C-alpha cells in the first residue's frame, strides 16, 4: 500500500531540511526513537526505539538540492509496528509561503500480519506528524542539523 502525508511547518525549507535530511537525526525529531547510529559509510542507520526494538534502514536515495531522501527497512528486531522489512519511506521538503515549508512523507509497504490497512495508514500518518512536530520543536529550540 502507499500512504502520503503533507504537513505545513512554519519554518524556512532550508532549516527544516537541515533536520529532516540528516539521516542520523531521527532521535532529535521523533519521540519514539531513542538513539541512532550510522554504519556502512553512513548508508545504513540502526535505530533503537524507546521500547527497545531495533530497525535497520538503508538509504536508497539522497538529493540535497531537491531536499529529498528515501530509505528502506532492511531488518527489524522486537519491532511490533504496523509495518516492517521492505517498508520504503521518502521525505521531501518544499518551500511554501515565505518562511514556511511543506514536509511531505510517502511510504510504500505491506502492512504487518494482522494489521488492517486503516491501522497501517494511521501509523504512517502518526509517524509523519510526530516527525513534523519534532522538527518544529527542534527549530524553535534553536537546534539545526
| Per-domain boundaries in the chain | 2-22+60-140
Q: What is the pLDDT of residues 106-134, one digit of tens each?
A: 999 999 999 999 999 999 999 999 999 99
Nearest Cα to Cα of residue 88 among 124, 130, 118, 38: 124
Look at the domain 2-22+60-140 and name its fold: Alpha-D-Glucose-1,6-Bisphosphate; Chain A, domain 4 (3.30.530)
Q: How many CB atoms are located within 10 Å of the residue 73 CB?
A: 20
Q: Say what the pTM is.
A: 0.94
Q: What is the pLDDT of residues 8-61, one digit of tens each?
A: 999 999 999 999 999 999 999 999 999 999 999 999 999 999 999 999 999 999
The C-alpha atoms of residue 145 and residue 104 are separated, in whole angstroms, by 18
Amino acid at each position: 500500500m502507499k500512504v502520503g502525508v503533507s504537513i505545513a511547518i512554519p519554518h524556512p525549507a532550508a532549516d527544516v531540511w537541515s533536520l529532516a535530511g540528516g539521516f542520523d537525526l531521527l532521535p532529535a525529531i521523533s519521540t519514539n526513537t531513542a538513539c541512532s547510529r550510522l554504519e556502512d559509510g553512513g548508508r545504513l542507520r540502526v535505530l533503537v526505539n524507546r521500547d527497545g526494538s531495533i530497525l535497520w534502514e538503508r538509504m536508497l536515495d539522497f538529493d540535497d538540492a531537491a531536499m529529498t531522501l528515501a530509505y528502506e527497512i532492511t531488518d527489524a528486531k522486537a519491532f511490533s509496528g504496523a509495518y516492517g522489512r521492505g517498508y520504503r519511506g521518502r521525505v521531501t521538503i518544499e518551500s511554501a509561503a515565505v518562511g514556511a515549508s511543506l514536509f511531505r512523507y510517502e511510504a510504500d509497504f505491506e502492512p504487518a500480519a494482522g494489521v488492517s490497512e486503516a491501522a497501517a495508514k494511521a501509523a504512517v500518518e502518526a509517524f509523519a506528524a510526530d516527525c513534523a512536530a519534532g522538527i518544529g520543536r527542534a527549530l524553535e529550540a534553536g537546534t539545526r542539523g
